[in-house]
């Protein structure tokens, strides 16, 4: 019998049972795809991250991410969670100022943000952002997502955006309209699969709280997740969209906080930093985390 160490980590929060829970398997050596998929299904969290040691000096670990139903190329909240585990439980806080992760989309470095000599948050640099047109009938997309067409904020375009996965971004006038959304999940799943979209992300600049610049919700039935409480990948893609679509000044750095998870009873905060660049902006996504469970799986 092989005993596999496993952690549950609540990411993008400093409160247990808040934010978004991720599974983390820090020592995945010897596990194959079948094993990883079964472990992810058993943990039944939106994503579980599996770490493999690296012999390459350019990165410290190889990471793979699985939902209960499939592998995904990248997951933001699981990256926050695994980095917190490696810093706090595996000594990386003393080893180096960052940890470098080789994912299916490239190398993602994660830095430690310290406060009074203690780990305050972890900050990942996502891959270069991209956007592209998405031709869809507004009435139809509103029907599938479950919002009133009058609640679409026409000041901003509906787009596909990417910092590792493609996300459908839908601007909404206010947070109340976002919270009222009741998507038709089977039809949304079909739509996302057709366009190779990982999640559908609703966002509004009219948040319920002035501390937050943006409020969001995220639906991911195409990868087996009805609603993802707090999403690092989708909010990173949203940050890239804001600059690439000239909603925010591309020549200026930006820092702000996104609120998500309140509709699911798991409130979280995503810290966004956009660094202006000549070719592409650099998108940094940060957050706190809490280790809620540590145990073993008897494989």
> What local confidence, expressed as pLDDT, does residue 8 receive?
98
The closest alpha carbon to 122, from 92, 167, 102, 95, belongs to 92
Marked catalytic residue, from 33, 47, 111, 139: 47
Thinking of the domain 130-283, which architecture would CATH place it in?
Answer: Roll (3.10)
Are the folds of 3-126+287-298 and 130-283 the same? yes
Say what percent of the chain tops pLDDT 70: 100
Q: Which sequence spans correspond to the domains of the chain? A: 3-126+287-298, 130-283
Q: What is the pLDDT of residues 126-166, one digit of tens each?
A: 999 999 999 888 999 999 999 999 999 999 999 999 999 99
CB 234 within 8 A of CB 201: yes
| DSSP symbols for 83-137 | HHHHHHHSSHHHH-SEEEEEETTEEEEEEEEEETTEEEEEEEEPPPPEEEE----
What would the mean pLDDT of 259-282 be, rounded to a whole number?
95
Whether the predicted pLDDT of 110 surpasses 90? yes
Whether the predicted pLDDT of 63 surpasses 90? yes
CATH for the stretch 3-126+287-298: 3.10.310.10
Catalytic, 57? Answer: no
Q: What is the pLDDT of residues 253-266, one digit of tens each?
A: 999 999 999 999 99
What would the mean pLDDT of 291-299 be, rounded to a whole number?
95
Confidence of residue 17 (pLDDT cuts 50, 70, 90): very high
Local structure of 179: helix, strand or coil: helix
Q: What is the pLDDT of residues 194-232, one digit of tens each?
A: 999 999 999 999 999 999 999 999 999 999 999 999 999
What would the mean pLDDT of 180-200 be, rounded to a whole number?
96
What would the mean pLDDT of 233-257 be, rounded to a whole number?
97
Measured CA to CA, the distance from residue 131 to residue 7 in angstroms comes to 34
pTM: 0.96
């Amino acid at each position: 019998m092989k005993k596999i160490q496993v952690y549950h980590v609540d990411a993008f929060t400093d409160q247990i049972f808040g934010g978004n829970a991720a599974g983390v398997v820090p020592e995945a050596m010897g596990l194959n795809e079948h094993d990883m998929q079964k472990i992810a299904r058993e943990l039944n969290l939106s994503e579980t991250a599996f770490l493999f040691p690296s012999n390459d000096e350019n990165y410290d670990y190889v990471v793979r991410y699985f939902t209960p139903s499939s592998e995904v190329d990248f997951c933001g909240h699981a990256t926050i969670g695994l980095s917190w585990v490696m810093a706090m439980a595996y000594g990386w806080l003393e080893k180096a100022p960052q940890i470098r992760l080789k994912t299916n989309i490239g190398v993602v470095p994660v830095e430690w943000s310290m406060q009074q000599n203690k780990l305050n948050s972890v900050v990942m640099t996502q891959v270069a952002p991209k956007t592209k047109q998405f031709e869809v009938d507004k009435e139809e997309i509103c029907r599938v997502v479950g919002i009133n067409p009058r609640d679409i904020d026409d000041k901003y375009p509906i787009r596909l955006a990417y910092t590792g996965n493609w996300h459908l971004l839908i601007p909404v006038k206010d947070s109340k309209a976002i919270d009222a959304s009741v998507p038709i999940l089977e039809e949304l799943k079909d739509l996302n699969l057709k366009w190779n979209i990982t999640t559908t992300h609703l966002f509004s600049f009219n948040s319920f709280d002035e501390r937050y610049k943006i409020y969001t919700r995220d639906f991911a039935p195409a990868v087996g997740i009805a609603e993802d409480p707090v999403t690092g990948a989708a909010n990173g893609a949203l940050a890239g969209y804001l600059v690439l679509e000239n909603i925010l000044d591309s020549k200026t750095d930006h820092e702000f906080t996104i609120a998500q998870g309140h509709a699911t009873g798991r409130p979280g905060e995503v810290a966004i930093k956009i660094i202006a660049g000549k070719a592409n902006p650099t998108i940094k996504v940060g957050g706190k985390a809490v280790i809620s469970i540590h145990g073993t799986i008897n494989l």
